[in-house]
């Protein structure tokens, strides 16, 4: 039977407690090492946020340097529900007067009513796109499309499905009313050149079904023209213009007109510089700068009242970064009317935050070309480039491999790795020490047990000897 033992049983010493205290001493460095890891992880997290904010700042600079940023324009219509207008960036400011006499329309035809669900007979329908403007049909350049109608698959629903599944340039709809069904055909596109004719050939003439009932080849056809294909007719500053579509893109360079209704009077269209869009780009840059500086200020500050320091308080990299960004904001771009941010109302206050002088910025926005030079001037000499380009390159240099922020984060990660490795060593040493301490004290306890046993034996022998002498 195995002997049940407990450390200290023989000696009466609290061996477990003694060993635990000794092991605790061995593990004591873990507290400081864990504090180091926690601090380093906090710094790493903050630097991750700073990298993201610096990247956003660079992106804001890049947007300011784009060619169209200070070429933003807006177009307005005096009656937007009659004539809509959109404008491409860089379009020169202008003013126009439009009048719409007619909207572009698609050709529509309707067959005569036939009994609902009845067959139309086998044969072919040939749909050709073209122009009816001369009174007779003139085919366009598109290849005619043939629709083959088979017996048993010749209801109007069947035929409409085939037409819609083809590339005939028309859409088909079956209209039902009290008189039966009609096949309605409509050009997919508006305009006189997108009219169509439908020729029909019966496979079984005289069967009483007569597929030719769906034909439209002009006046007197079985099908009826309900709407001719027409071009839009309108004037711009009194000049007559036609368009196959109601969306007109090519009449005035940079402008797209959406003709919605026939006008009852002139519709005034104006194109002007979009100062609001330009201000938004500038404000985005200012906000991005302030976000970076706020994060740096918060993370490096020390509150003497609470005696609480930010995670990067005293961090030379953070302090250097803040100074570098501030210095960047004071850089010059020679060659234009505006050479510095302050010239256009972008100012840095005493607290390090950036603000906009609206009066100065509004004045500068009246000269968008000069603003474009300030932010987007291109030059092989980096020092002569526009501020936006320089800022973008500056930000990239900080966050890319080998840059200040990347190097700092790499250093923190390496420090965390080293400290974790040292913590592993401490844990290993403590484990080995525990084994060693237990072995030592258990051996001592065993020796005490043997001495106690010997002492008991000797005492017994002395007692017996004394009894024998008496």
- Cα 386 to Cα 262, 374, 381, 431: the distances in Å are 48, 5, 11, 63
What CA–CA distance (Å, rounded) separates 269 from 235? Answer: 12
Q: What is the DSSP letter of 103?
A: -
Whether 291 has a pLDDT exceeding 60, the answer reads yes
Q: What is the pLDDT of residues 373-387, one digit of tens each?
A: 999 998 888 888 899
3-state secondary structure of 196: strand
**In this structure, are strands 145-149 and 123-131 parallel, antiparallel, or unpaired?**
antiparallel
Q: What is the pLDDT of residues 390-409, one digit of tens each?
A: 999 999 999 998 889 999 99
The pLDDT mean for the chain works out to 90
Average pLDDT (359-372) is 93
Q: Supply the pTM of this predicted model.
A: 0.70
Whether 216 has a pLDDT exceeding 80, the answer reads yes
User: Is 353 exposed, middle or buried (CB count within 10 Å of its CB: 0-12, 13-18, 19+)?
Assistant: middle
Q: What is the DSSP letter of 246?
A: S
What CA–CA distance (Å, rounded) separates 430 from 27? Answer: 6
Average pLDDT (107-115) is 95
Q: Is the C-alpha dihedral spanning 406, 410, 413, 415 positive or negative?
A: negative
In three-state form (DSSP H/G/I as H, E/B as E, the rest C), the secondary structure along 167-192 is CCCEEEEEEEECCEEEEEEEECCCCH
Q: What is the pLDDT of residues 61-99, one digit of tens each?
A: 999 999 889 999 999 999 999 999 999 988 999 999 999
- Do the Cβ atoms of 376 and 386 come closer than 8 Å? yes
pLDDT grade, residue 27 (50/70/90)?
confident
Q: What is the DSSP letter of 402?
A: T
What CA–CA distance (Å, rounded) separates 415 from 270? Answer: 62
């Amino acid at each position: 039977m195995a002997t049940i033992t407990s450390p200290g049983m023989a000696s009466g010493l609290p061996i477990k407690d003694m060993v635990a205290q000794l092991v605790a001493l061995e593990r004591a460095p873990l507290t400081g090492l864990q504090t180091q890891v926690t601090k380093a992880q906090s710094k790493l997290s903050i630097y991750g946020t700073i990298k993201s904010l610096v990247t956003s700042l660079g992106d804001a600079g890049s947007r300011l340097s784009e060619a169209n940023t200070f070429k933003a324009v807006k177009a307005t219509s005096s009656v937007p529900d009659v004539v809509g207008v959109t404008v491409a960036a860089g379009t020169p400011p202008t003013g126009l007067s439009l009048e719409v006499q007619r909207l572009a329309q698609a050709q529509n035809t309707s067959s005569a009513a036939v009994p609902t669900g009845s067959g139309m007979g086998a044969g072919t329908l040939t749909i050709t796109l073209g122009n009816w403007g001369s009174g007779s049909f003139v085919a366009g350049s598109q290849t005619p499309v043939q629709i083959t109608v088979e017996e048993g698959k010749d209801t109007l629903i069947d035929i409409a499905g085939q037409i819609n599944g083809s590339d005939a340039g028309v859409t088909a709809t079956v209209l039902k009313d009290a008189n039966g069904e009609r096949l309605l055909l409509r050009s997919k596109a508006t305009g006189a050149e997108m009219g169509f004719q439908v020729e029909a050939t019966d496979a079984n003439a005289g069967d009483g079904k007569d597929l030719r009932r769906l034909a439209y080849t002009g006046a007197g056809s079985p099908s009826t023209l309900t709407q001719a294909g027409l071009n839009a007719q309108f004037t711009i500053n009194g000049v007559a213009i036609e368009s196959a579509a109601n969306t007109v893109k090519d009449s005035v360079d940079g402008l797209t007109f959406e003709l919605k209704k026939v006008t009852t009077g002139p519709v005034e269209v104006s194109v002007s510089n979009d100062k609001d869009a330009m201000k938004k780009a500038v404000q985005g840059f200012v906000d991005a700068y302030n976000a970076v500086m706020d994060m740096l200020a918060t993370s490096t500050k020390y509150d003497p009242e609470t005696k609480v320091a930010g995670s990067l308080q005293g961090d030379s990299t953070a302090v250097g970064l803040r100074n570098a960004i501030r210095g960047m904001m004071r850089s010059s771009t020679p060659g234009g009317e505006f050479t510095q941010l302050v010239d256009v109302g972008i100012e840095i206050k005493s607290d390090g935050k950036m603000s906009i002088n609206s009066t100065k910025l509004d004045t500068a926005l009246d000269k968008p070309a000069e603003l474009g030079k300030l932010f987007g001037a291109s030059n092989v000499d980096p020092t002569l480039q526009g501020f936006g380009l320089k800022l973008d390159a500056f930000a990239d240099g900080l966050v890319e491999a080998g840059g200040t922020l990347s190097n700092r984060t790499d250093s923190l990660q390496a420090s965390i790795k080293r400290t974790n490795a040292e913590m592993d060593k401490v844990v290993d040493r403590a484990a080995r020490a525990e084994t060693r301490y237990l072995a030592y004290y258990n051996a001592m306890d065993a020796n005490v047990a043997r001495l106690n046993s010997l002492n008991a034996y000797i005492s017994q022998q002395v007692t017996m000897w004394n009894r024998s002498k008496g």
